[in-house]
Structure 1
Amino acid sequence: MTWWVTRGMQRTLDALTTVASEVLHGHLSARVTSAGGGAELDTLAGAFNLMAGQLEQTEATRRRLLSDLAHELRTPISTIQLYCEGLGDGVLQWDLATERVLTENTARLARLAGDLDDVSRAEEGRLVFDLAPVTVGELIHSAVASHEDGFAHEGVQLIADPGPAHDTVLEVDANRLGQVLDNLLRNAQRHTPPGGTVVISAGLTGDEVRISVTDDGDGIPAQHLPHVFERFYRGDPARDRDRGGSGIGLTISRAIADAHRGGLTATSGGPGQGASFTMSLPQPPRRRTRRPAKGASQLR
């Protein structure tokens, strides 16, 4: 019996050692198979496989991030380089058109650098928030006021509907949440054709306030929906890049919502059925006022 138990344990440990060596050398797809060493070793093998799977996913994300980042940088840098060479060779003249192209591409690089810094600091918990009381209605109407001209120019109707949460007070960083709503409204505007409608609404669910941006535009295919908050992920790469999106606005938005102890989710019925992004935020605890004892005097 001792030999049989030891043999099973030895097989599992040998397999674990072999797979650990493979992972060490970069073969992250290697997994441990149980050899009947007992429940404890099976648990250890399962934990090791889970760790290896997470490492494999992280490495895949890192490679995709570097590839996408290189692609994002290549276009504006190439444009700036070509225009500089043209100016140097005398092929191009410095005029308003040249100035506009160089300014736009320089701004695109600066925006990308700022977005990357924001999302990194947010995901690592290094964002500094200036918390102050603000009503849900103020957040929504401020966001709408900043975008109503742009929506009108595109022929898209923008509707604000704070609903019963209008006067609900939140203890949040209004500027950061304004950044979230700005990203959501820009995203909705890009994917809603002329004649469409975008509604920014709010509601109360338990101890949470939920602010939603809903459009009746392009919609999101089911296979893309789980990835919309990933860095540089695009369901329609060419369109978004041409329209000036950095590809990480939604990533930043979710990180800011998470840092406020809330969340950000996306839903869609599919292509052509619009999409809805909902940010949930906790309500601050209500302060209870203590009633004076009967007969006690009240200080004013």
Structure 2
Amino acid sequence: MENFDIKCLCQLRKNIEINEAVEKLSIIRQKCSALQKVLLPDDIWGILSQLSKSGVGKSRHLPLSLNALSQGSLYKITTPIHRYLLKGNELREDVSPNYIADLKENWLLKDNQFRQNEKRRHQRFKHYMGKLCELLCACWLESLGWKIVNLEALGGAYDIEAHSTIAKKYAIEVKYIGIEDEMFNSFSDGRARCYDENDIVKFVLCKLSNAAKQLKNYNWRRLIILVIDDIAWPRIKCSIFDEGVNGSYYKEYPKSEFFKEFKNKYPKIESKIIKSIDKVNDCWIIRMNGDFSLKKEYVIFNAL
């Protein structure tokens, strides 16, 4: 995202104390269409700006944009909105209304009040991040030299349609994995829990399988991008790739090698799940750091 020349106050890249961030965000929002028309429209900003000062619920949830501003990374979530969804200060005519609705920071709200429980709020956040990740990935691919052709946000059939750096046509489905419900409960109530590796592996493979099904009608190359949140990364890395948290990063796994080892290690995983994924050309495992930066860690199918 460093390559995009966006002229807006939201491009501020300076850490701000969280107790000053609400006032600062309010000032930026007045001049930023990405915040005012998409992330924090008038119908939710009034409530969020008042109650964000102390956080919401036991977990002290705060709006994503507020946390991003405090750590100097607000521009990373507003840049793709400026680039793909806005024309000047107005929404593009071809933007999907449903997509805009999903990008509102109302995951904290229920009927415009902070009444939902911690787990429900967490579930809504995962859905919200899934949509945002599609745009983050589009920007990231562009920064790598890919050409974005279409987006689901603009009425496309897939999350992203793009041409690679060597002009190959791709349809791309983006899947996000954050802290899952049981793991979130261990954070919110302070109790440690153990997780069965087979369940973790099956969960990840089902995510990939669902993405593969969404791509099955595309006639060119098919790519799945699996974005894993920094907090969820260690246990998934250990389970899927059989490495310690501090193991060496970035590896490429040919299909045959990866699935052969997988079947031996996890014989209970249904073969139909693996077969559906096998029809995809490539799958990238991406780690999303706390500042919303993306890093490719593994290619588990065919390297480009």
Is the TM value for this pair above 0.5?
no
Q: TM-score range by the shorter chain?
A: under 0.3
TM-score by length of 2: 0.22
Structure with higher Rg: it is 1
Query: Where is the helix percentage greater, Structure 1 or Structure 2?
Result: 1
